[in-house]
Each structure stands twice: as C-alpha cells, then as structure tokens.
A and B are shown apart, each in its own frame.
Chain A
Amino acid sequence: MNLQTIVNSLISDTVTTSLPLFKPELVLCVTIVVLLVTRLFPGLNKIPPFAIALLGGIVALWASLPAGGIADWAKIERQELFTGMLTYDAVTAFIRVFLMAFAVLFIVLARLTGLADREDGQDFYCLAFGSIIGMCIMASANHLLTLFLGVEMASVPSYVLSGVVKGRRRSSEAALKYAVYGAGTAGVMLYGVSLLAGILGSAHLPTMAQQLVEFDIAGKLAEGDQYMQVLVLALGGLMLGVGLAFKLSAVPFHFWCPDVFEGASAEVDGFLSVASKAAALALLVRVGIGFGHVPGETPESVAAAARPTATVQLAAAAADVPPAVRLIADEAPVTDGDAETADAAADTGPLSPVRSFFVQVVGIVSVITCTFGNLAAYGQKNIKRMLAYSTIAHAGYMMMPVAAAVALVGRDQAAAGDAVSSMLLYAAFYLFMNLGAFAIIAFLRNSMQSEQIDDYAGLIGRSPLVALCLTGILVSLVGIPPMAGFIGKFRIFQSLVEAGGPLMMFMLVAAGLNTAISLVYYLRVCKTVCIDSPPDTSRPVALGFFASAYVLALSLPVLAFGILPNSIAQWAQAATAGLFG
C-alpha cells in the first residue's frame, strides 16, 4: 500500500462519494468555524452571530433535502460512507432533515427568548451545532467507533448547554448531574462495546452481524459448555444498552431527566427532549437492525438456509443455563407460537436469538419506562418537571415500534419498515409538540418569571393565543383524535398489532392504559390554564409579535398534521423503504 493507492482511494471514495452525501454536517462544521473567526476581526464582529447561525442552519437544511424532492427518498439505496464508518440510507436522510429543521427552529427560539445574546451567542450556537453534528453521526452510525463518537459528540456539548446560564445555582447543578451521569454511562457503554468487538472480531456493524451468523448462538447454547461466550455477548449488549438507555432516558437510567430538565432552561429542555431523543432512537434502530439483520438478507433466503432444529435445541438448552442466557432462549416458544398463527415463514434465521433478546429487553424496558413516566408525572408542580416525566413516557412509546420492527425483520421486512416509519412519524410530530410546549414555557417564564403550573391559572384571560396553543399541544401529547399525537400513537399501535405475539400484545395493552393514565395530568394543566380563575397577584402576559408567530408556527402543524397527516406520513414511509437493502 503506497502513497499513490492511498491518494487514489481518497479521491475515488472520500471526495467523490462520501463527502457529497455528508454535506449538511460539513455546512454545520463550516458555520462553527465562521462563527468563531468573525469574532476575531474588528470589521466582521459587527455581524450578529444569530444571522450567521441562521444562515448556516438554513443552508444545512437545504443541503439535507434530497435533490429531486421527497419522492427521491424511496429510491435511495443503502450505501456505506467513509469506508464503512457511516451508513447512508433514507432513514439517515430523514433524521438529518429532522435535525437540521430542529436546529433552525432552535436557534430562532434561543434568539427570541434572549438565551443566546449578542455577547455569548457564538458559544451557544457553536455548542448547539456541535451537538447536532454528533446526533447526525449517531443516526448514521455503522461502526462501533462512530456509535461511541456520535454519542460523545452529542452529549458533551449538551452538558454545557444545560448549564448555559452560569450564575444560577440550579443550572450549574443540572449541568453537573448531567455530565457526571452521562460520562459514567458512556464509560459503561464503551466497556460493552469493547466486549462485543472482542468476541466478534470486528467493529463494523454489518460485519459483526455476519460474524454473529457464524457464531451460531443456538449451537453454542446447545453444547452447554460454551454458554460463557454467549454470556459475554449478552453482557456486552446490555452494557451497550446502558448508554442508549441514558440517552433515551429509559428506566432505570432516567433519574437524571427530571433534575436536569428542571435546572436547565426551557429552550435547552426542548433541545434535549426532541433532538437528543430522536437521535438516540435512530441509534437504537441502527443497533437493533445492525446486530439483528445482515444487509441484503431476506426472510426467504434465510428460510432456505435455516436449520429447523435450532429452536428446539435452544429450548432444550434453556433448562441448564444461567438466567441471563435463559433470557435469550426464552423467546423460542414465542417464535414457535408465531409459526402456528402466521402462515408466513417464522423467524428462524441464525440471528433470531439476537433479535429476540433485543426485542425482549427493549419491549420490557419500554413498557416500564412508559408506565413510570406517566405515574411520576402526577403531582408535579413545576411544568418543566412534569414535561420531563412526560418525555420519559414518550421515550417509552417511541421505543415500542423499534422493538416491533426488529421482531418483524426476520418475517416481513416491509412490515418492519412500516414499524420504523411509525417511529419516525411520531418523532416528527413530537418535534412540533415538545418544542412548542417548551417554547411557550420559555416565553411565559420571560414575562411571568415563573414556571409553576399554579401560576398559569387563568392564562386564557391574559393571553388567549398562548393558552389555546398550549392546550392544543397538551391534548396532542395525550393523543386525542383531532391532533397529530393521535395519528402518531395510532400508527405505533398498528405496528405492534402487525408484529403480533404475546409480548407485543402486552406492550399494546400497556401503551393503551398509559394513554388513559396520562389523560389526567395533561388535562389538569389544561384545566388550570383554561378554567381556573387567575390568582390576584397575576402579572400581565405580553408576548411580542415574533414570539406569538413562533408559537403559532409550531402549534398549527400539530393540528394540521392531525387532520391531514398524509404528506408527512408518506415521507416517513418513503424513508424506510430501503432500510434493509
């Protein structure tokens, strides 16, 4: 390998193939540098940083849109960028448009509320953009290093963002908690990654999936004395899950979420609850599909090669292996049950133990997360804290279709794609709902100096527009019909029904019950806002023209997509068409 071959491969692979598809991230990198450089020169530092950041964000958004319109997404074939470090498919493209749109909305919000002022604005925008680049890498990770790098790049700047108001005690406390817990879980995740890389002999996700096929989990479990290797695999997977669960704020790694959300400012809460969560969900999809599916494989090709005895051996081996391994093996009866009910080929591929392990862990965690979030949201007096628990609950809802998708991969890839698209659709609605809610909280904080739910009493009399928007968003968060949240939840439930099986039915019932539980605390806020009489000490609420326009711009889509969901649903559908290529 001499210099000439290196240069040639640089030009053929990196410059002509990878870099054009990496444009949006590059635009953000350039914007960061421009933001810093303009501060250095006396003439240039007159340019407001907000203008530069907004321009950079809009160009990045434009660069992330496919050249031939949204319809192009269905045609995107999966390909690997930078010799396998990243994967580029329509899901990457969708999440990137999502993140860039969020970036633009977020910097506008930070400007409107005054969080990013003229003096420190550059730092704020740089941190937000740096974090967004990390999230893009998370969403397209195809290698264990990019997985870890993406998580770190997304997290570390957001530790600073949560403490961006320097003088306040609560803000610095939120930053400390977030940083300490985040760094700790990232460390545990890295150890899990090292175990996985070591046992499979590669760090490239598709190669690892192929190694897993050769690894022959079912055979190793059946032999009895080899279960230690499967245990290493399970341990590595669970440790990797610790890091993911932290990013998703899934139980039992949710404890940071309420404290950080209460301490950080509302704008940053919007950032953490929408962008960070969407990227973490995309990464969960990447991990689930990456380990549970060999690219280019179809259920038919697997069924031809499948050994029919595998599941029987697996069930036999389950009797004398330790509990952690039994968790993998326990799925065997479930797949057998599916084989009886569904005529289609049952999930018997060599990777089915991996899939069922993933599905069980994610499924159970999602139900617990959802239930915990909704129960803990009761009785919260601070609106940010209440929404923090609501975020935890929604993370649970959005993890469900991922589990369903991985359960479906071995049987019906089109249905699995639909399950992922229902997650993407919900995430898109969630952007408008949660960013809208936190924007309203931020604007109200500026004019009322309060974030207590009780102080919102009678808001409808003081500012009808804000009160109506907030009510609409909360109703949508519950998932009541005219609003977008209903469509999103309905699609998620549909994907669970599609996946079938006892675990999915349990998840479906739990999600339904949770929706009923959540009704109470969301509507309590609506009642406070719309029906209760204002306290005597109430201060006037005055929102500027731009602030009102911003709130309206985020709230109207929540209603509009609820009535006419087709366009955005088609985008999400198109985005998952080539996921398993």
Chain B
Amino acid sequence: MGDGIYWPTFFFLLFSALACGFALAVVFSRNVVRMAFYLVMSLASTAGLFFLAGEDFVGAMQLMIYVGGTLVLLIFGVMLTSQKQFVEMKTPAGQWIVGLVTGCALVALLWMAAFETPQWQPISRAEAEAVAVQPTATPIGVALTNGRVDQLDQPDETLRGGMSSYLLPFEIVSVHLLVVLIGAAYLARAKRRSPSAAAPG
C-alpha cells in the first residue's frame, strides 16, 4: 500500500476527462445529431463519477433515467425534426469569442473558489480508505418515507435539526409528473374537432 497508485483517483481522472471532453464537444459541434451523441457520452461519464463518490444508487438512476430515458427522448426529437438544412448550425464568430471569454472567466472563478475553500479539500488516503462502505439505496428509501438515518452520524445539533425527510417532494412530484404527462399529450395530439368560429387567440 502506501504510495502506490490510488485507483479511485485514476478512475476519477479518466471519467472527469471524458465528461469534460464530451461536454466541450457538445459546445463545439455544429451537427445536432453528433451533439446528442456527445451528450450521451458526457452524462454517462458523469454517472461513473457518481459511482466513484460512493453514490451507486444515484449513478444507476442517472444511467437509467437520464441516459436511458431523457436523452433517448431528446435524440428522438432530433430525429423527428432533423431536416438537412437545420442539422448544421453556424454561430457567428463574434458570439463565439464573447462566449468563450466569459465562459473561461467563469470556470476560472469557480475553480478558484473550489480549491481555495478549506472544507472542500481532499481527506488523506488513510482516512479515505477507512471510510466504511454502507448501503446507499436503503437510506434513500427511508428518507423518501419519513426518516433520516444519517441523523445518527451527525454530531452538529443544528445540522441535525435541518435534516428533513423527503416524503412530501416524493409524493408531490408524482402529481407533477401526471400534470406534465397531460400537458405533453395535449400538445402532441391533434385537436379533437375543428376549431369553432370564435377561435381564441
């Protein structure tokens, strides 16, 4: 042990390079179909980063819902609307320059903020190796019903008081999904009858 390669870090570098690289490719690609593919790769690499942070359940959800569902939906949209003249999109050079300069400045600012904040710095290798692996799906499931198991590990009383259970969002988001489904179906289907004379608008 000791000074050998710490493999999680190696995989972190690998996945983060993939995620960032493909995200940049999304920005610089002119072809919508290719953009969609790069986005899939970038978000799948992000799922890898979730696994490395020990959140395997969210990582799995990212792969299944995001990559497997949402992005397939987007690609579907690209395919439905892709006509030859609209697949390739050019952006004026002036906008590119302004955008890139602002973007680089923002990244630099966020990086500086991240690396200068003491509580966000890495723990030592010995500490990291001592962190026990715990189940991740069960605590999430319990939090979605009505409790927080991580209250037991929290020494700070203030923070412990702020640990809410996620029962309400879990229930109310189902209503939201239902309403969204109605909305999407409404827009997608044809009007059921011919518009009357006093068509609103």
Contacts and interface: CB of A to CB of B under 8 A. Distances in A.
A touches B (Cβ under 8 A) = yes
B176 interface: yes
A157 B113 CA distance: 36
Contacts of B192: 119-120
Interface string B165-201: 1111100110110111011111100011101101111
B183 A32 contact: no
Contact of A265 (B120, B146, B166, B201): B201
A13 interface: yes
A160 interface: yes
A23 B163 CA distance: 24
B163 A163 contact: no
B158 interface: yes
A29 B173 CA distance: 11
Contacts of A130: 175-176, 178-180, 182-183
A13 B113 contact: no
A302 interface: no
Contacts of B113: 228-229, 231-232, 235
A157 B166 contact: no
B169 A32 contact: no
B167 A134 contact: no
Given A14-B167, A126-B182, A232 B117 contact: yes
A581 interface: no
B145 interface: yes
Nearest to A266: B200
A149 B142 contact: no
Contacts of A126: 178-179, 182
Interface string A101-137: 0000000000001110101101100110111011001
Contacts of A138: none
Nearest to B116: A228
A206 to B, nearest CB: 7
B176 A156 contact: yes
Interface string B145-164: 11101001000001101111
Nearest to A148: B169
A: interface residue count bin: 35 or more
B106 to A, nearest CB: 9
B172 A145 contact: no
A32 B179 contact: yes
A120 B162 CA distance: 44
Most buried by A among B176, B178, B191: B176
A202 interface: yes
Contact of A85 (B120, B147, B164, B182): B164
Interface string A18-58: 10000001000100110010000000000000000000000
Contacts of A171: 201
A446 B201 CA distance: 8
Given A82-B165, A445-B200, A32 B175 contact: yes
A442 B172 contact: no
A166 B191 contact: yes
Chain A contact residues: over half helix, strand or loop, or mixed? Answer: helix
Interface residues of B, number: 46
Nearest to A127: B183
A375 interface: no
Interface in A155-214: 156-157, 159-160, 163-168, 170-171, 175, 198-199, 201-204, 206-208, 210-211, 214
Nearest to A204: B162
A202 B162 contact: yes
B198 A114 contact: yes
B128 interface: no
B133 interface: no
B146 A14 contact: yes
Interface string A81-94: 11111100000000
B98 interface: no
A83 B165 contact: yes
B196 A167 contact: no
A10 interface: yes
A29 B200 contact: no
Interface stretch (A1-9, A492-500, A513-521, A556-564): A1-9
Nearest to A170: B201
B142 A6 contact: yes
A143 interface: yes
Contacts of B93: none
B200 A133 contact: no
A205 to B, nearest CB: 9
Nearest to A150: B172
A202 B167 CA distance: 17
A167 B192 CA distance: 12
A152 interface: yes
Interface string A202-243: 111011101100100000000000001101100100000000
B111 to A, nearest CB: 11
A156 B168 contact: no
Contacts of A9: 146-147
Contacts of B199: 165
A114 B198 CA distance: 8
B200 A83 contact: no
8 contacts: A25-B172, A83-B164, A117-B196, A119-B193, A123-B182, A164-B186, A165-B200, A208-B162
Given A1-B147, A36-B178, A203-B164, 11 more contacts: A33-B178, A82-B165, A84-B163, A122-B182, A130-B176, A149-B169, A159-B183, A201-B159, A208-B162, A228-B117, A229-B117
9 A-B pairs with least C-beta separation: A207-B162, A130-B179, A204-B162, A160-B183, A84-B164, A82-B168, A228-B116, A123-B186, A202-B162
Interface of B: 109-110, 112-113, 116-117, 120, 142, 145-147, 149, 152, 158-159, 161-169, 172-173, 175-176, 178-180, 182-187, 191-193, 195-196, 198-201
